[in-house]
Chains A and B, each alone.
Chain A
């Protein structure tokens, strides 16, 4: 018995080291540990050996069994690890294939720019007011110090609807509507659509404006310059140069036209028509908005005392800013809604 145990041990040790694949190991396990395995049979035969030898041989057999079981387990673990490693090395996806998803739509460029403008003003503490697109002559013209038969009306070709009403030619009537119903301090913007009887590459019969105004004690032209310069530098670039020059609007006095340096030639101010920048036509500047100190006549019309309050107002064209920001040359593109155009703003 002792000898055969010794032979078996040597046999097992020799074979365990040799086998590498799962089938061989399974075979090994069956051969020794299976129901009719050599080790199993020997363990079963223990009761036939003398009682005094039994504990020693039993112990040795059990140790051999544990040894074999452990070896087999280790081998199998190695094999599984190898197989997994093999699999991981072989599994490959073409990551250059397109991702699979539903297509997103896009927001209209005018909405994008409008939102940006609004956010800058909200950040400065302005509040939003809105007014009707169909206006009466009083709010669109007369209350803004543009009497009937005044040549200033030629500046704004008007669409008329029934009953003497019209499509507002600017967002300024909201200024009047707000001042009619509220008292200063006021710090308001009024975004919206406006209408002009006009249609070509630089004029659309409808476009969008943001009107803004601020009224309180001691609001001055300095403040107008400060607020608008800050706004333009937020919308364009922090270092953008801004220029204020005199102009005329019946509802502001003094009035100003506000220019920014040309974004396309960086305001190089080239003197000649030859080779001059196409966008600023060589002036080096781009007209961007109109503004001014609210005319005392307008305050008088809405019942404010112009000796006690002062304020400024401005109006800016959203399309104009969008065209400059995005390099769009024809204003009509905004309203043709060609998907190839719109998709560029996704």
Chain B
């Protein structure tokens, strides 16, 4: 909410430090509010004062040599100046801002004493636009008749002021008016509140439950929805432009100036926090105000000219059967106050916060009024706001108050007293507040102490603070007004609770450190993606799962939660390919989401990586290492090793996701369950995405963490040397090399310690369609040094059996 410092100061008497007109006063006020929980979001001078003075035009005659110019004599008190003026509205007797020679205007131009077509001009009469007050440049600005001659215009108009923007938290509806903030400042500083001048309706106001205006009746259908409805009437109005001080204040606070009548309702709302509405009385044909839910009334045209469809529960203000306002949100076009309006019915009512909020939200129609009603308006304040508005209408719009007031108040809520226990205050705040301090704070807030006992006090909050309903609320107020900075900071005494290691943190750290050592860089992407991308990349979920849709996405291409980390990584790759990078290796460790057939959702954490181009190296260029399936496989093996699950993980060619090239991909399984997939991207997908080939890997991090091995088994180191024997065999091209290793290990020979594959060869002299695989076998006995004869015999036996088993030939 926006307001000005001067407006605030009109309503509260502040102590010396906050009063100053310079920079210090406003900043001290801002700091006081911020430190009390009403955060000042900005503070800046209201308008830049160029130093123009009030001038009275005493003579006007046409310029002898220019049709559109006049020569005016302007009295500024101690001197009379001749001014050449081009404005059509210059005439004898008006007061207007005069810029003397030397004045710097907001545009940067400096007014000079000069001669225009032979006539000397000692200054300049200014329009509002020239003073940067508004866009109005139709003529010179006309000042009120009581503007003091020769005095600075800006201070007379109250423009030497500061604009303050405060962020009012949703619990403090009472601070959505200048008066509420003034009250808060008074409580914080010990200052006193000053009520603005108002016009009382006269003696008849004593009888409040009756309509005393003979020709208007008010009927509330549901008192829960409208606890109070007050109204007054004003006649003989002459709606015109509002005086400058009011216009500038309204516009600075973000409310457009319309005419003096509408402006007064808005001004009083900004001041008191009580929204008002003025109906053109002549347009209220039935003179019977009915406050009711819309029911069968389907449509309503509001002031903004838009027709809106209503829901049954929307609250309407009707004139007889005709809806004239959407209660608490916006008036109707049919009863709008215009230039010809002479009398109005001023509505000052209280509506149910929830009802207003639901309607405003559904119609997406938010007004200053609805904003306040949603946050709670004090029902006790309707009459004061009316009286203030009537006063202002009389002042600026020639209004004549009609005697009497309508005040329907069927649902009066009285605040309940609250117990404040000394012990509880201490338990929560950790400090002991004296009774004296507690009572001082409560009094400053308008809270009445009803009873005092040994254990505590019983207090009654004021009607404008519905947020104070429990002991906890009162304790917060005590802390706030006492000052948070006065409460010391200590470390707590808490019972020890043991504690556990978070596996995601532990394994996540190990994994990340491994991956960056392998040259991959971590990315973090938004978890939203498009339907198309989710169809391409379905993660490691089983077939029954569907993506989770976002019902209100920011962009259509972000309308689903990702099933896999791949879409965003692919998008990252694309943007880097556009930048022509030679090497790309990234990983992401993040959440993925799916929808189960029963409507529930699941989330899991995946690890995904993309490799493209070469492994990045530092130093002289000595041979490049292009990423291949084997580098990707090596990476995957390393990851499995980090978790200690490499030996139980099964590599297979089954179950390859469709986005991978089936001949160059593998799946990882654990006890038959999908744990990951890796390989080269399918050429069709590359083509569709317009990307070169790349390698990807996706693993179920949740499962890795679940299966991770924490213990290590330590074997006694061998005492006798090992003997190595190599062999090379020629097999069919499609023969999986691992089979030999598994077969040899499967023999269970106690002296065969290890088998490794170390070379693969195709080409002459190996026949077409075949390949040569070279294995190294390590023999070792635990109790003796093996002799050559012994090893040769076993090795020979092994190779011949192997050739038979796999129909392979030994390569000599």
Q: A residues engaging B (CB < 8 A)?
A: 97-108, 110-111, 115, 118, 125, 127-128, 130, 132-134, 149-152, 154-155, 159-163, 165, 167, 185-187, 193, 197, 199, 204-206, 214, 216, 218-223, 225-227, 229-230, 243-248, 250, 253-257, 271-273, 281, 283, 293, 295-296, 310, 334-335, 337-339, 342-343
Closest to A199 in B: B554
A-B pairs, top 6 by smallest CB distance, nearest first, are: A220-B430, A246-B37, A100-B619, A222-B430, A248-B169, A223-B492
Interface centre among B526, B553, B595, B620 (most CB of A within 10 A): B526
Inter-chain contacts of A214 with B (CB < 8 A)? 492, 494
Check A187/B516 contact, CB under 8 A, given A103-B618, A151-B375, A296-B472: no
Please determine whether B37 and A133 come into contact, CB atoms closer than 8 angstroms: no
Inter-chain contacts of B488 with A (CB < 8 A)? 222, 225
Task: Tell me the complex Cα distance, A134–B599, Å.
Answer: 13
Inter-chain contacts of B746 with A (CB < 8 A)? none
Closest to A246 in B: B37
Check A187/B603 contact, CB under 8 A, given A162-B549, A310-B427: no
Check A221/B429 contact, CB under 8 A, given A99-B619, A108-B522: yes
Please determine whether B428 and A293 come into contact, CB atoms closer than 8 angstroms: yes
Inter-chain contacts of B519 with A (CB < 8 A)? 102-105
Please determine whether A271 and B522 come into contact, CB atoms closer than 8 angstroms: no
Please determine whether B526 and A335 come into contact, CB atoms closer than 8 angstroms: yes
Check A105/B521 contact, CB under 8 A, given A161-B548, A310-B428: yes
Please tell me if B101 contacts chain A, counting CB pairs below 8 Å. Answer: no
Task: Tell me the complex Cα distance, A243–B35, Å.
Answer: 9
Please determine whether B524 and A335 come into contact, CB atoms closer than 8 angstroms: yes
Inter-chain contacts of A165 with B (CB < 8 A)? 601
Task: Tell me the complex Cα distance, A102–B583, Å.
Answer: 12
Please tell me if B500 contacts chain A, counting CB pairs below 8 Å. Answer: yes
Check A245/B484 contact, CB under 8 A, given A98-B620, A106-B522, A295-B472: yes
Whole-angstrom distance between the Cβ of A20 and the nearest chain B Cβ: 42
Inter-chain contacts of B550 with A (CB < 8 A)? 159-161, 167
Please determine whether B494 and A248 come into contact, CB atoms closer than 8 angstroms: no
Please determine whether A222 and B431 come into contact, CB atoms closer than 8 angstroms: yes
Task: Tell me the complex Cα distance, A247–B170, Å.
Answer: 10
Kindly identify which residue among B476, B492, B599 contacts A163, using a CB–CB cutoff of 8 Å: B599
Contact stretch, chosen from B502-510, B530-538, B688-696? B502-510
Check A248/B172 contact, CB under 8 A, given A100-B620, A253-B475, A335-B524: yes
Please tell me if B703 contacts chain A, counting CB pairs below 8 Å. Answer: no
Task: Tell me the complex Cα distance, A221–B482, Å.
Answer: 13
Q: Scan B318-334; emit 1 where CB is below 8 A from any A CB, else 0.
A: 00000000000000000
Please determine whether A185 and B618 come into contact, CB atoms closer than 8 angstroms: no
Inter-chain contacts of B170 with A (CB < 8 A)? 150-152, 154-155, 248
Closest to A162 in B: B549
Interface centre among A97, A105, A149, A186 (most CB of B within 10 A): A105
Q: Which of B536-565 contact A (CB under 8 A)?
A: 548-554, 561
Please determine whether A223 and B490 come into contact, CB atoms closer than 8 angstroms: yes
Please determine whether A221 and B430 come into contact, CB atoms closer than 8 angstroms: yes
Check A185/B523 contact, CB under 8 A, given A107-B516, A222-B489, A225-B489: no
Check A246/B36 contact, CB under 8 A, given A223-B492, A253-B472, A335-B525: yes
Q: Scan B409-438; emit 1 where CB is below 8 A from any A CB, else 0.
A: 000000000000000000111110000000
Contact stretch, chosen from B585-593, B758-766, B791-799? B585-593
26 contacts between A and B (CB under 8 A): A99-B618, A100-B620, A104-B516, A104-B519, A105-B519, A105-B586, A110-B524, A127-B499, A133-B527, A133-B603, A151-B375, A155-B170, A161-B561, A161-B601, A206-B527, A221-B430, A230-B491, A245-B34, A245-B36, A246-B35, A246-B480, A253-B473, A253-B476, A272-B23, A337-B572, A342-B523
Check A342/B526 contact, CB under 8 A, given A154-B170, A254-B475, A295-B472: no
Please tell me if B83 contacts chain A, counting CB pairs below 8 Å. Answer: no
Task: Tell me the complex Cα distance, A221–B36, Å.
Answer: 16
Please determine whether B601 and A223 come into contact, CB atoms closer than 8 angstroms: no
Inter-chain contacts of A100 with B (CB < 8 A)? 617-620, 622
Inter-chain contacts of B496 with A (CB < 8 A)? 125, 185
Whole-angstrom distance between the Cβ of A220 and the nearest chain B Cβ: 3
Please tell me if B208 contacts chain A, counting CB pairs below 8 Å. Answer: no
Please determine whether B39 and A257 come into contact, CB atoms closer than 8 angstroms: yes
Please determine whether B491 and A226 come into contact, CB atoms closer than 8 angstroms: yes
Please tell me if B263 contacts chain A, counting CB pairs below 8 Å. Answer: no
Closest to B477 in A: A254
Task: Tell me the complex Cα distance, A245–B167, Å.
Answer: 14
Closest to A119 in B: B505
Please tell me if B358 contacts chain A, counting CB pairs below 8 Å. Answer: yes
Closest to A307 in B: B424
Kindly identify which residue among A187, A254, A255 contacts B494, using a CB–CB cutoff of 8 Å: A187
Inter-chain contacts of A248 with B (CB < 8 A)? 37, 169-172
Task: Tell me the complex Cα distance, A155–B554, Å.
Answer: 18
Whole-angstrom distance between the Cβ of A276 and the nearest chain B Cβ: 11
Inter-chain contacts of A128 with B (CB < 8 A)? 502, 504-505
Please determine whether B618 and A221 come into contact, CB atoms closer than 8 angstroms: no
Please determine whether A343 and B551 come into contact, CB atoms closer than 8 angstroms: no
Please tell me if B357 contacts chain A, counting CB pairs below 8 Å. Answer: yes
Closest to A154 in B: B170
Check A193/B591 contact, CB under 8 A, given A222-B431, A253-B476, A310-B427: yes
Inter-chain contacts of A206 with B (CB < 8 A)? 526-527
Please determine whether A247 and B523 come into contact, CB atoms closer than 8 angstroms: no
Inter-chain contacts of A218 with B (CB < 8 A)? 427, 493
Q: Which of B369-383 contact A (CB under 8 A)?
A: 374-375
Whole-angstrom distance between the Cβ of A58 and the nearest chain B Cβ: 52
Inter-chain contacts of A219 with B (CB < 8 A)? 492, 494
Task: Tell me the complex Cα distance, A222–B472, Å.
Answer: 16
Kindly identify which residue among B23, B36, B487, B522 contacts A105, using a CB–CB cutoff of 8 Å: B522
Task: Tell me the complex Cα distance, A133–B495, Å.
Answer: 31
Interface centre among B353, B358, B479, B518 (most CB of A within 10 A): B479
Inter-chain contacts of B73 with A (CB < 8 A)? none
Please tell me if B515 contacts chain A, counting CB pairs below 8 Å. Answer: yes
Please determine whether B500 and A127 come into contact, CB atoms closer than 8 angstroms: yes
Interface centre among B490, B492, B519, B615 (most CB of A within 10 A): B492
Whole-angstrom distance between the Cβ of B351 and the nearest chain A Cβ: 14
Please tell me if B512 contacts chain A, counting CB pairs below 8 Å. Answer: yes
Inter-chain contacts of B34 with A (CB < 8 A)? 245, 283
Q: Which of B334-359 contact A (CB under 8 A)?
A: 353-354, 357-358
Please tell me if B485 contacts chain A, counting CB pairs below 8 Å. Answer: yes
Task: Tell me the complex Cα distance, A296–B476, Å.
Answer: 12
Inter-chain contacts of A163 with B (CB < 8 A)? 599
Closest to A259 in B: B34
Inter-chain contacts of B128 with A (CB < 8 A)? none
Closest to B523 in A: A337
Please tell me if B470 contacts chain A, counting CB pairs below 8 Å. Answer: yes
Whole-angstrom distance between the Cβ of B672 and the nearest chain A Cβ: 27
Please tell me if B581 contacts chain A, counting CB pairs below 8 Å. Answer: yes
Inter-chain contacts of B548 with A (CB < 8 A)? 134, 161-162
Inter-chain contacts of A167 with B (CB < 8 A)? 550
Please tell me if B27 contacts chain A, counting CB pairs below 8 Å. Answer: yes
Please tell me if B44 contacts chain A, counting CB pairs below 8 Å. Answer: yes
Please determine whether B487 and A103 come into contact, CB atoms closer than 8 angstroms: no
Please determine whether A334 and B522 come into contact, CB atoms closer than 8 angstroms: no
Whole-angstrom distance between the Cβ of A245 and the nearest chain B Cβ: 5
Inter-chain contacts of B35 with A (CB < 8 A)? 245-246
Please tell me if B520 contacts chain A, counting CB pairs below 8 Å. Answer: yes
Task: Tell me the complex Cα distance, A132–B702, Å.
Answer: 14
Closest to A131 in B: B603
Inter-chain contacts of B515 with A (CB < 8 A)? 105
Task: Tell me the complex Cα distance, A204–B575, Å.
Answer: 20
Q: Which of B681-715 contact A (CB under 8 A)?
A: none
Task: Tell me the complex Cα distance, A335–B569, Å.
Answer: 11
Kindly identify which residue among A110, A271, A337 contacts B23, using a CB–CB cutoff of 8 Å: A271
Inter-chain contacts of B551 with A (CB < 8 A)? 159-162
Whole-angstrom distance between the Cβ of B693 and the nearest chain A Cβ: 20
